Amino acid sequence: MSINAQTESPSHGKEVIGYITNYDGWKSQASLVVPEQGCYCQLNVDFSKYTILNFAFFGLAKDGSLHSADGRNKNIFLQGQLQESSPLLTTPYYNSYDTLILYGSTATSQQVDTDGLIKLAHAAGVKVMASIGGWSMSKHFCEVAADARKRSTFIDDCANLITTFGFDGIDIDWEYPNEMGMNIENYSDADYANFATLMAELRREIGTGNENGKVLITAAMSADPTNLAGYNWERLQASMDYFNIMTYDINGGWSDKAGHNSPLYNYPGAERSLSLDSTTQFLIEQGVERNKINLGVAFYGRGVITKDPAVLNGPTADKVKTIPQPGEEYFQPDGPIMSCGDFDNWGYWDATPFYSAIQQKTGGGTINGWNSHWDANAKVPYLTKDNYFLSYDNVRSIKEKAYYVVDEDLAGLIVWNVYGDMENMMESELVGHKNRLCPNRTNVLADAINEAFIIGNTRHLIQNR
């Protein structure tokens, strides 16, 4: 068994922040990308590719306490539904991937094994953040941030994640202040000031460092300037280390035009004039420090169905109520939604296939009738087949984005998520209760980021001599 325990994190000076989810471990026979459950776990993360890993997600209850994602109220999308308090970890331990990722493959109690995520990461010099909220567990952020008692409960639980579990900081994924997100009912303009108060109080409680080094506070934030404009950036920068901008999900099953999931630059005819570049320039205009900005890259794609033969900016098909799996009552986690998403080809992936699945099914536009295209304006690829349109990122576009980060002197990139580019996973061995090690795994997109950061830094130095 070979686990990347001692592999050192990158030394190119840029952040590569990868989200490692606690629910993808349940995926099995994922279009034959993985053989069975347990492959998407910490054992198959190459720590030499990342500087920070965000463990996603812990949820937020109505009283401000934190809970395991396993305790999420699955009807939370309905009006009036609340998230009650729930355990931070699910027991018995081997029934959940939370503990098997955090504590290790043979965990039977809160005793850290040698292959627990935090232990492996720290051995490689990689920090691990506790990410809180996410798309499906942000419902109560507005009320918690507005209430001193609930803020105190929240902050105490965050401090516990650092002191007891060994996390290196807290990543807030409130999606989004002053927006309804998936299910937020009490949002208002006051969210922005309350968010800043929450960050300031959290910083006072957890401090700036401990025996393990610097303690970080970060947040995943919208890429849309209409949302970003409400923040007091000067106040936030006094408390926070990084702003992780989710520059993906720009277009998808909700769109009226077939567009790019994560364009580097704006492009003619787009339904939304939004891109990594436009958001970056907006933030800089707002006075945000470049070394606090991390841009998002997607290790997945978004597929839609079009009315006519698929082309960029072509009209999407009429949206229909989406029930992706036979017998499922609702689309999880959103409930009954209307979508033009391509469930014909990507039903298993809820129309958002991992890069590995895209490569397997389409060969990047070389097999099964798919055609490859490159948008010279947006600097991203896309695939078409009949009336199916798929936007995604490949090695070329990922490198373009990494070069952009270097050229703009930004902090780095965030990756959703670390499992997306894992290929060659079919050979595996069981380790402990449920985790599986895939010894032949490869990570071409993560490789591309790090290679481009090294090349970009060298190019940058030469140009500035």
Please report the pLDDT score of residue 457 as a whole number. Answer: 76
In a domain, 232, yes or no: yes
In a domain, 348, yes or no: no
Residues paired with residue 129 on neighbouring β-strands, in sequence order: 54
Residue whose C-alpha is closest to residue 236's, from 160, 293, 296, 153? 293
Cβ partners under 8 Å of residue 464, min gap 6 = none
**Cα 442 from Cα 144, distance rounded (Å):** 41
Please report the pLDDT score of residue 1 as a whole number. Answer: 44
Checking if the pLDDT of 294 tops 60, the result is yes
Domain count, the chain: 1
Please report the pLDDT score of residue 335 as a whole number. Answer: 81
In a domain, 84, yes or no: yes
State residue 78 phi and psi, 5-degree precision.
Answer: -80, 145
**Exposed/middle/buried for 78, CB within 10 Å: 0-12, 13-18, 19+?**
exposed
Residue type, 292: K
Model pTM score: 0.96
Contact in structure between 276 and 380 (CB atoms under 8 Å): no
The rounded percent of the chain whose pLDDT value lies above 70 is: 94
Checking if the pLDDT of 299 tops 60, the result is yes
Checking if the pLDDT of 363 tops 60, the result is yes
Question: In angstroms, what CA-CA distances link 337 with 21, 73, 156, 199, 401?
Answer: 23, 18, 36, 33, 32
Checking if the pLDDT of 110 tops 70, the result is no
Mean pLDDT of the 241-246 span: 98
pLDDT tens digit sequence for 405-458: 999 999 999 999 999 999 999 999 999 999 999 999 999 999 999 999 999 877
In a domain, 153, yes or no: yes
Helix 191-206 × helix 148-160 angle, to 10°: 40
**Cα 308 from Cα 358, distance rounded (Å):** 22
In a domain, 377, yes or no: no
Tokens of 312: 């960029």
Checking if the pLDDT of 2 tops 70, the result is no
Tokens of 209: 């460092």
**Cα 195 from Cα 193, distance rounded (Å):** 5
Please report the pLDDT score of residue 456 as a whole number. Answer: 84
Please report the pLDDT score of residue 461 as a whole number. Answer: 62
In a domain, 132, yes or no: yes
Contact in structure between 397 and 276 (CB atoms under 8 Å): no
Q: How confident is the model at residue 323 (pLDDT cuts 50, 70, 90)?
A: low
Q: How many angstroms separate the most distant Cα atoms in the chain?
A: 63
Q: How confident is the model at residue 253 (pLDDT cuts 50, 70, 90)?
A: very high
Q: What is the mean pLDDT of the chain?
A: 93
Tokens of 416: 């959703």
In a domain, 2, yes or no: no
The rounded percent of the chain whose pLDDT value lies above 90 is: 83
Element (H, E) at 68: strand 66-68
Residue whose C-alpha is closest to residue 388's, from 368, 405, 411, 403? 368
Q: What domain range is 290 assigned to? A: 15-299+394-463
**Cα 435 from Cα 100, distance rounded (Å):** 7
CATH number of the domain enclosing 454: 3.20.20.80
In a domain, 309, yes or no: no
**Cα 26 from Cα 30, distance rounded (Å):** 10
